[in-house]
Structure 1
Amino acid sequence: MNNNIKIAIQASLKAGEIIMNIYERDFEVETKKDNSPLTEADQKANAAIMSFLEKTDYPIISEENKQIDYATRKQWDTCWIVDPLDGTKEFIKRNGEFTVNIALVKDGLPKLGVIYVPATKELYYADVDQEEAYRVKLLKHSTSLKDINEYRRSIRPERIEDVTSVKVVGSRSHMSQATLDYMEKLKERGKEVEVVSKGSSLKFCLVAQGDANIYPRFAPTMEWDTAAGQAICNALGIDVISQETQQPMLYNKENLLNPWFIVGNVQV
């Protein structure tokens, strides 16, 4: 297991433990300047992750850190991109569909990705260059790397060149009209469309493990929402394509806001 993946996994598990301790009791919700919610879990999980990643050689972009000016960031060829609690709205709703996202990006492209689902203790991680992606169902947050390595299972979604019935991932909290219009176009082309709703970066995991075929995202996301999920999909040969450039989505951009994108493992 790549040493950077080991560090990211350990950071994600510690963050997950902290998140669940807060999830199981009353907590307050603040509102950030962009009107998105913020909880104690976001902040404490971020601090835990930083304590691991700051020991590495790479700088960090995190949703909960003060954002660094692009004049500095553009000098970075490699950096971490982190969302300590992706799906804060799902956390507040207590539906379990929230994740910890950690990715390592080199020259704008994700190379390593870790997604941890604290409520179900499911861990996903991938090494893009090695074309390896894994899922592990843990019994406890403090599971050792040795046990993770022993009980991991490869993710190998079946690739189908053409389908008549398409499972489309929709956001649990952010389904846009443009996404609904996209699904209508699929129907007009003779496709049967089944909508699979999930919160947070779990949408990438659904496509990666073959539980969905395509994830169109025609609504705002930030780089920390998607980098880890893109790494997991890319390791399996699943593209994450910017609808602005028709090329793979890039990271550590001047503007950390993502373009619209489509994730897919089938031709539709």
Structure 2
Amino acid sequence: MLDDDGAGGGADDLKLIAEAAQEAGRIAMGYFRRDPKVWNKENNSPVTEADMALDTFLGNELRRARPDYGWLSEETTDDKARLKHDRLFIVDPIDGTRAFIHGEDDWSVSVAVVEAGRPVAAALYVPVPGELYLATSGGGAQLNGGVISVSQRSELAGAHVAGPRSLRGQKTLMAAGLDQDVHIRSLALRIALVAAGRRDGAIATRHANDWDLAAADLLVQEAGGQLTDLDGRTLRYNRLDVRHPVLVATSTTLRASLSEIVRSVLD
């Protein structure tokens, strides 16, 4: 069982979810590159026995420690009981399942605590390189204990932007001079790389879900950037519909120009 030194609150919650995410990553590595069982869900997206094992572990550990919190996970049937809770866990046991299946490195374990519709604690663990991203509301963002911040690039031309494969070769983006990176399957990791200043921006197509975004949203916010829709609105979580519109994550200096160019392609 995980240690727990309190009944809730920013520091206690962060400690809890950080430990849980890392232990979940260790469990996942027991399946990684070992031909785990794979099947398709109703929406035709893949899921593995590792996804389900992590979902069970995280659900048991986190809900035991905080029985008064709600729960939303990609791999748990959503019974809408979460809507009665002001504070809840939002979890993606393996974000980037396709990367996990193919033995690639770009998958992550994403855990957030959300209160009143916004994330207040976030842990994103990337098991293969052993990278742990952490943030609390008002407390900044860290990667493996070091403070991180977004890039301060002010020009779109030459900006290194991570996006979905559907954007590969888009002439409008190429004409704007964007250096496109379409090889990061985990959306949460794509956004976390912006928080760490490793990418200048990231793009999410329509219908990303709460569990893809909540932890990474807080990371980029606490690193001095923004995750918004194309009109600059911040996201709200734990609504009846957990899906979101087209999004961009970047610095405040690039948000408007990146949103404009993405709107011309996707919106």
TM-score band (shorter)? 0.7 to 0.9
Partners of 1:6 and 1:24 in 2: CA distance: 29
1:37-186 to 2 correspondence within 5 Å?
37-54=46-63, 55-56=65-66, 57-69=68-80, 72-130=81-139, 132-136=140-144, 152-171=145-164, 175-177=165-167, 181=170, 184-186=171-173
1:10-21 to 2 correspondence within 5 Å?
10-21=19-30
TM-superposed CA distance for 1:21, in Å, is: 0.3
Given candidates 196, 217, 231, the residue that maps to 2:218 is: 231
TM-superposed CA distance for 1:237, in Å, is: 2.3
Aligned residue in 2 for 1:262: 248
So what's the TM-score if we normalise by structure 1? 0.84
8 A Cα contact 1:128 1:232, kept in partner: no
Residue type matched to 1:51 in 2?
A: N
Aligned residue in 2 for 1:149: none
Instruction: Mark the runs of 5 or more structure 2 residues left unpaired by the alignment.
Output: 1-9, 258-267
Greater than 4 Å deviation, 4+ residue runs: none
Aligned-residue CA RMSD (Å)? 1.9
TM-superposed CA distance for 1:180, in Å, is: 5.8
Aligned length: 241
Partners of 2:190 and 2:143 in 1: CA distance: 14
TM-superposed CA distance for 1:163, in Å, is: 4.8
- Which secondary structure does the structure 2 equivalent of 1:161 belong to? coil
8 A Cα contact 2:17 2:123, kept in partner: yes
Aligned residue in 1 for 2:200: 213
Partners of 2:83 and 2:100 in 1: CA distance: 33
8 A Cα contact 2:33 2:103, kept in partner: no
* Cα displacement string for residues 134-168 of structure 1 (whole angstroms, at most 9, x for unaligned residues): 111xxxxxxxxxxxxxxx11112342334532111
Aligned residue in 2 for 1:30: 39
Aligned residue in 2 for 1:143: none
So what's the TM-score if we normalise by structure 2? 0.84
TM-superposed CA distance for 1:125, in Å, is: 0.7
% same residue: 27
